[in-house]
Structure 1
Amino acid sequence: MKKVTKIAEVKNPNVKLKRIRVAAYCRVSTDSDAQLESLETQKTHYEKYITARDDWEFAGLYFDKGITGTKKERRPELLRLIDDCKAGKVDFIVTKSISRFSRNTLDCLELVRKLLDLRIPIYFEKENLNTGSMESELFLAILSSMAEGESVSISQNSKWSIQKRFENGTFKISYPPYGYDWDGEKMLINPEQAAIVKEIFAALLSGKGTQAIADDLNRRGVPTKRTGHWTSTTIRGMLGNEKYVGDCIFQKSFSDSSFNRHANHGEKGQYLLKRHHEAIIRREDFEAAQGLINQRANEKGVTKGSAKYQSRYAFSGKIICGECGDTFKRRIHSCTDYKYAAWCCNTHIQDKSRCSMLYVRDDSLKQAFVTMMNKLVYGHRVILKPYIDALKHSSADDSLRHIQEIQTLMAQNTEKRETLTKLMTQGIIDQILYSRETNELLSQADSFRDEMEALKNTVSEDVTKVTEATVLLHFAEKGGMVPVFEEELFEKFVSRIIIRSRTEACFELKCGLTLKERM
């Protein structure tokens, strides 16, 4: 029998073991002392936990304070961690539990997939779960769903508690409006800000508009609550805030089942508590201000909360500056013996050095639309018909063909995963190879699904364009020349207007066409 002698490996002292860069993520939901103490404990734990291992290199600690875990967009440190992972600064992530990482199932799975695409696993201590060695996402989905359910339960308990405080008038307003400060128990008047509040109400009652009031405050350098910029919207909100007369309406907004915040327009009950705190404005002046605001709205035929309130003119929100990309605002210009309406770039109004686009007259823009429509009516056979035919026979066919190709690739992907499962079951390949290859195939399948969804959206957009173009063609075939501007016609066919100069406007139609017109 042949004798085999094992020769032991010789470790080269000059070869350094490659260390994995490990980062930790922590989060607490509130700014309470107990929660912040918990955060400090977590930070200390992870610094010791990571540095204790020779094969790990401490890559940083990322922590969010007083922030909900239901929305990843609201957690800047988590987003910074993802950005650092993309930049190649992190190889591995450690966190306390799934609920600390994310209470939203979709967000959790999306983040895990995104990090796995970067080949960066996450280790959840509480669940003893390493995403780098998972055979599937099922276990993670179940656990993150439980975390989301726990968040919903906590949210419902919190809402019940807040609701009771609404009903008995003990709810505390931790962030009071401009003019007030919070001392931890009640709202107190801020004398400097209160003087500005009184000035705003007095200016309105003297006949000034909200934009003129905002411009005056900005010109004088008066700081806002958050040292921002005064706008007419801010002024309108203050003029309608009942807190300035000492009253308080609870539940002006609410969260839906997806944790999104909405203004309460009657969907939920509200609670009015009079004489909740010291008033800044006399009730008579406040009611006079509301009467004046309502009178101005009635004169313009505007009802608060209606669609017309949000877009009171046909061009509102639809005119885009071709230089800076901002929207245009309607203003009244005065000449010696007459006035006229014009549309001005919002950026140009605030700072002419940032945008040099000059105003365009409302009547010129309307006439340009009439001219453009009449050209379509006159030339629909050479413009609209060929355009519809091209839409029907080009991009949609290519997209459908591409969708079929992706479906074939997805079927092949599924077969490969099934083959891997059989090979692993028969012991031909080990668990590590199976997990790595399966994760790659799952990631590839996700990419295929995303691409297919985008193509389906493209096909849907093309179908919409064909529909819109057909409606426009029928109008052009049956309708005569357009004599004057019709608001209904504009809203029916035009998506938006790009202003290139005072003499050129580009009408982007809902059917996908963009037509230039001189003014």
Structure 2
Amino acid sequence: MISSNDYAGNEPKRPAVQIRAAEYVRMSTDHQKYSTENQSEAIRVYANAHGIELVRTYKDAGKSGLKIDNRDALQQLIEDVQSENTDFTIILVYDVSRWGRFQDADESAYYEYICKRAGISVHYCAEQFSNDDSPISTIIKNLKRAMAGEYSRDLSVKVTAGMKNLARKGLRQGGAAGFGLRRTLIDENGTLKGTLERGMQKSIQTDRVILTLGPPDEVNLVREIYKAFVIQGKNEHQIALNLNERGILTDLKRPWTRGTVHELLINEKYIGNNVWYRRSFKLKKRHVRNPPDMWIRVQNVFEAIIERDLFEAAKTIINARSYHMSDENMLYLLKQLYYQKGMLSGIIINECNDLPSSSAYSSRFGSLIQAYSLVGYTPTRDYCYIEVNRTLRKLHPEILDQILNNLHAISCDVHRDQKTDQLIINDEFSLSLVIARCIPTFTGHLRWKIHFDTSLIPDITVVVRMDKTNQIPFDYYLFPSIDVLSQRLKLSEDNDFNLDAYRFDDLNYLYTLAVRVPISEIAS
């Protein structure tokens, strides 16, 4: 029972010296009960009950607990603890799973041990055990850590199984449609709902995506390419030159190259096959190239553009280039290319008519890196970025023109500064465009480095983040000038809310801002 002496002005008495604590909260995409607000509320109840004063908050919102990577708040917490830059002696966490769902329970224990070694203990407020290093609490805590990791493994298995099942039903699991094809949305009953344009995503969870034939001129051109390759004996380079001379662009509105023609000739979707799971990326680990026997391949689920016999003939011609070539000959040609170019990459190999494709080298020698090492080339970095940057420079005016046309379509008055490429919209605000190249890390994570021209100071900067292939936009950011505080910005797949508040799947919000609203009445 609490007596009246325990209160002074309706406030309970506190110890003369309160224990100072920091709270750590994290939310990924779990159930709402794990929202950071609910975690903080439970932590505050615990703190009040134990006479603890909260002086610091470390929050990772929208962050996976599988790894410490991308969890900036937890990294900062550990850094502060190790540098003794703290004004607290306790860390309060909602439960063990919020500390992390590490796949190695020892990793979870390691970060807690770092805190303990610095004299800072970790308390799990919603757990039924006291973190007092007793044998019972240690056993239960380790079991909880294992269960937290197992939850993610079990969820990953279920999600992958579900996607495999959808792929077996002939439903498209991500990726661009490709030249001559279109992504088409269907509802749960299989009724066609419309075409998804490039960059568009479905908005209803139960909807699915299939591939359907594109415009007749594109379909006919795909057939023409196969016949030129198989019947007329033209190679990919010759076909690309012919298409470019005729002014025909790819589905990404770019000139054709040997590589883009080659990709069209080897993709099974043109004979109606749905092939998925060539690569996998589970539990935030590295991307894995799966062997062909693991692929999900379902035949004749899409309307075919190319007859199977014609496709197999093209495949035979391509395979024959390296089938009769010895390892020594393949490496000799690769070494000659290296001496000629000074470096090697998959793009450089695929654009060379006299060499087998990069996939042939990867298949024959285990990987491109292994083939490089056999000819004495050790890449210090991936020089593919040179070609990617060249492509993105060409893409910049295309996207800017697209924005300009869309603004004109909604009756906006738009002026384009030919010197700076800024758009002045309705004489009200200025807009600048930045395209950010996607940079995959060696761990499989995606990064984007954004460079702002702060000398321009536009009212809005549209940042286009490219996908991991740097072929199509991944998403868009609309940054107002007030929040462009530096020339450089680094983005990952998951960012803090103060950044992702400006993220959009498309540019519809920009057009909503720009559209003129008629004033029907003016108050006198």
TM-score in same-fold range (> 0.5): no
TM-score interval for Structure 1 and Structure 2 normalised by the shorter chain: 0.3 to 0.5
Name whichever structure is richer in helix by fraction.
1
Larger radius of gyration: 1
TM-score (norm 1): 0.42
TM-score (norm 2): 0.42
